[in-house]
Structure 1
Amino acid sequence: MPNTAPRAVEEPSAVVAALRGLRNHCPRCDHKPLFARYLKPVERCACCGQDWTLHQADDFPAYIAIFVSGHLLAPVLIAAGSHELLPMGWLALIAVLGALLLTIVMLQPAKGAVIALQYHWRMHGFDPAMREADQREG
């Protein structure tokens, strides 16, 4: 029978936590997976017991994914358009499909990194002092 008790874990740096989140690993202990479904994090890490329902990533991961995909596509489309390599209809199709594909591919890693940084910086529900104050009020 596996040991289900939470184990003590050394806190990672912000960069290490963000890289773990990008890879769909627990930012705290590097156990996989961080997500139960595409954008829904697991309730608790199976290894360290960290509660991941406390995050408040909201729309920020989508903004990151859109920002990065736009900056990756822009040089390609500018180069192809300036050399008239493809007709404008094909460029528009490449732009739309490329933006959709890149954004969908980058959305989960961006959310993992945002959750990891919120955990590392003790934002929102990850701050034990804030949780204790909320429990006393509620």
Structure 2
Amino acid sequence: MLDGYLKVRDVCAVCGEELHHQRADDGPAWATIMITGHLMAPMLLFVFETFRPAAWVMAFGFSAAFVMLSLYLLPRIKGLFVALQWAKRLHGFGTEAAGQR
């Protein structure tokens, strides 16, 4: 479905479904930040309370982990948003002609 890291193909290479009218916009970025933040916050508290590392170690370590997890999740969540639009027939998916249902 994706051509490169985040670009959605205009047409599916397997089935020929048109994907050019998808509207993921900022939804995948928002969801990625929400998921990653909710995963990292309890881990940050656990590591701090258990091991008491230096502040710079926590800042560097958790910043790197947050960025890596975000970069891993972002294209997958964008694919999920496009798939949900396709499944719910939003933004032009599933219409044979304009005005038909």
Q: TM-score, normalised by structure 2?
A: 0.88
Q: Given the alignment of the two structures, is residue 132 of structure 1 paired with residue 62 of structure 2, yes or no?
A: no
2:59 to 78, 85, 92: 92
- Residue number in structure 1 paired with 2:5: 38
- Residue number in structure 2 paired with 1:118: 85
Q: TM-score, normalised by structure 1?
A: 0.66
SS at match of 2:46: helix
- Residue number in structure 2 paired with 1:49: 16
Amino acid of the residue matched to residue 51 of structure 1? Answer: E
Show structure 1 runs of 4+ deviating over 4 A. none
Q: Deviations over 1:65-90 (max 9, x none)?
A: 11111111112110111234311111
Q: Taking every aligned residue pair, what percent have the same amino acid on both sides?
A: 31
Q: Given the alignment of the two structures, is residue 66 of structure 1 paired with residue 33 of structure 2, yes or no?
A: yes
Q: Which runs of 5+ in 2 are unaligned?
A: none
Q: Which runs of 5+ in 1 are unaligned?
A: 1-33, 134-138
